[in-house]
Amino acid sequence: MEKQPLILDGNRVADRIKERLKTRIGRLAERGIVPCLATILVGDHPSSATYVKMKGNACRRLGMESTAVHLPQSTATEELIAKIRELNENPQVHGILLQHPVPPQIDERAAFDAIDIGKDVDGVTTLGFARNAFGFAHYPSCTPAAILAMLDDYRIPIEGRHAVVVGRSPILGKPVSAMLLNRNATVTVCHSRTTGLADLVRLADIVVAAVGKPKFVQGEWIKPGAVVMDAGYNEGNVGDVDYEACARNASAITPVPGGVGPVTIATLLKHTVEAAERAVSAD
C-alpha cells in the first residue's frame, strides 16, 4: 500500500493564528483601538474583487475593521498614490493593502512604494523587501511568512535543508528565498526559464512552488520524502504543482485550496494587529 503524505492543513494553522489574535484585539479594544485594514482595488477584476471581499470578511469576523477603497479602471498612477497617501495620514488605518495586479497604465512599483512602511502589512514596499532580506522586517510578505508559519506549526525542520524555490516574484519567490536562507536553509532559486529545472527540483528537501502556472511542478520532479509547499492558485482551484502526482513522492504537501491561502490571510490580519499595537506604543 502506498504511504500517504502528511496533508498540511492551512485552515487549521490559520485558525490557531486567529485564535491567538483575539486576546490581542481585546486588549487594543480596552484602549479604544480597533485594528483597521484598508484595501485598495483598482478596476473590476472579478478574482481580485473576491480576494478583497474575503479579506474584509476575515477582518470583521475577528472584530477588526476593514475599509474598502474601489477606484475605477482608468485610474492614473498619480491618483492612486494620492489615495494611498491619504490612507497613510489617517491614524484610524493601521494597514494598507493594494490588491494586485493593477491596470497596465499604473506604475505598480511606485504605488507599492507610496505605502508608509509602518502600514506595509503585506510586505510589498522596496524598503520592506530590503528589511526582510536582512532578517528584521516587521511585516514580511504575507505568503512567504505563511509558508514558514506552516513549516513551523508542523515542526518541519528548515535549518540545514535544501530548499528549491520555483518562482522569483518580488512578493513571493524572492522574499521566501531570503527568509529560508535566514533560517539556515540552503536555497536554490529557479523559475520557468531555468535550464535543467526538473533536475534541480529533484535535489530539494523542501519545494516551494510559486511560479503562477497551473500544475507546473511534476510528480517525477519530487524527491521521495520531500516537503511540497504549493503557493499557487490558478483557475479551477488548482495550484502550481500537479497535486496527485507530487503527493506520491512527498512526505508532506499543501492542498489547493485549503493550504497556504488561509494562512496568508491570517498573516495579513496578524500584521495589521501588530501595526495597531505599534501605533499605540508610539503614542
Is the model's pLDDT at 50 over the cut of 90? no
Question: Given this model, what pLDDT does residue 283 score?
Answer: 63
Instruction: Give me the chain's average pLDDT, please.
Output: 95
Q: Which single residue is written with the C-alpha cell 479602471?
A: 73
DSSP category for residue 22: H
**What is the mean predicted confidence (pLDDT) over 129-158?**
97
Is the model's pLDDT at 1 over the cut of 60? no
Cell reading at 47: 478574482
Torsion sign across C-alpha atoms 76, 211, 120, 99: positive
Question: Given this model, what pLDDT does residue 44 score?
Answer: 87
Instruction: Please tell me the distance from the alpha carbon of residue 173 to that of residue 134, in angstroms, as a whole number.
Output: 16
> Structurally, what CATH architecture does the domain formed by 141-261 represent?
3-Layer(aba) Sandwich (3.40)
Is the model's pLDDT at 21 over the cut of 60? yes
2 — pLDDT class (breaks 50, 70, 90): low
**What is the mean predicted confidence (pLDDT) over 257-281?**
95
Q: Across the strands, what pairs with 189? A: 165
Question: Given this model, what pLDDT does residue 280 score?
Answer: 87
Residue 257 burial by CB count (10 A; 0-12/13-18/19+): exposed, middle or buried? middle
**What is the mean predicted confidence (pLDDT) over 170-176?**
95
Half-sphere exposure of 221 (CA within 13 A, CB side): 23
Among 101, 139, 100, which residue's Cα sits nearest to residue 123? 139
Residues of the chain with CATH 3.40.50.10860: 35-122
Q: Cα dihedral angle (274, 26, 16, 161), rounded to 10 degrees?
A: 20
Residues of the chain with CATH 3.40.50.720: 141-261
Question: Given this model, what pLDDT does residue 142 score?
Answer: 96
107 has catalytic annotation: no
Q: Which of 9, 18, 99, 205 is catalytic?
A: 99
Question: Given this model, what pLDDT does residue 247 score?
Answer: 97
Torsion sign across C-alpha atoms 101, 106, 107, 112: negative
116 has catalytic annotation: no
The CATH H-level superfamily of 35-122 is Leucine Dehydrogenase, chain A, domain 1 (3.40.50.10860)
% of the chain with per-residue pLDDT over 90:
90
282 — pLDDT class (breaks 50, 70, 90): confident
99 has catalytic annotation: yes
Instruction: Please tell me the distance from the alpha carbon of residue 126 to that of residue 121, in angstroms, as a whole number.
Output: 13
User: What are 186-198's pLDDT values in tens digits?
Assistant: 999 999 899 999 9
% of the chain with per-residue pLDDT over 70:
99
Q: Which of 18, 55, 119, 174 is catalytic?
A: 55
Instruction: Please tell me the distance from the alpha carbon of residue 166 to that of residue 158, in angstroms, as a whole number.
Output: 17
Q: Which of 120, 122, 230, 242 is catalytic?
A: 122
Between CA 248 and CA 251, with CA 249 as vertex, the angle to 5 degrees is 105
Stated pTM of the model: 0.95
51 — pLDDT class (breaks 50, 70, 90): confident
Instruction: Please tell me the distance from the alpha carbon of residue 228 to that of residue 238, in angstroms, as a whole number.
Output: 14
Instruction: Please tell me the distance from the alpha carbon of residue 8 to that of residue 227, in angstroms, as a whole number.
Output: 10
